[in-house]
Amino acid sequence: MIRALRIIVALGVLAGTAAASPAQSFTLPAEGLDLHAQLHDGTRVVLPPMAIAQDRPAVDRRPIYIGAGLVVLALVFYWNRRGRDRFEREETPEAPATSDDADGDDLHAAARGDAKDDV
């Protein structure tokens, strides 16, 4: 308790002496005050260029994704083509041709120019 009282007394004495001492006052000149910073020697200040170290750019992975997508599409088309060829091989060659097949053959022949004239 006595220690706290000593600290309070010391702070009071310091505050009293600060208030009793005359403060230095700063007054602005009466003429116009120019608040802009200026260099009056007339030379232009040129600073050297600054080298700012930049981080390495992140790797652009979009071409990798596009390439992987193309490979996946190629594999899907290959797998589909292989399955279709297997399906066509499994069809029995002895199956009777339907009238739709005959019409299709006639259309193909007409497109080639091998059409026979029935008229």
- Condensed to tens digits (0 to 9), the pLDDT of residues 23-53 reads 555 565 556 555 666 656 667 778 899 999 9
Other residues' Cβ atoms within 10 Å of the Cβ of residue 106: 14
* 35 in any annotated domain: no
pLDDT at position 72, please? 98
Six-digit token pair at 7? 């600290």
Q: Cα torsion for 60, 62, 64, 69, to the nearest 10°?
A: 170
Q: Let me know if residue 13 belongs to a domain.
A: no
Does residue 48 form part of some domain? no
As for how many domains the chain has, the answer is 1
- Would you say residue 20 lies in a domain? no
Q: Does some domain include residue 86?
A: yes
Q: What domain range is 77 assigned to? A: 65-91
> Tokens standing for 17?
């002496």
SS3 43: coil
CA distance linking residue 42 with residue 106, whole number of Å: 98
pLDDT (tens digit per residue) in 50-102? 999 999 989 999 999 999 999 999 999 999 999 998 888 887 565 555 555 66
Does any domain span residue 79?
yes
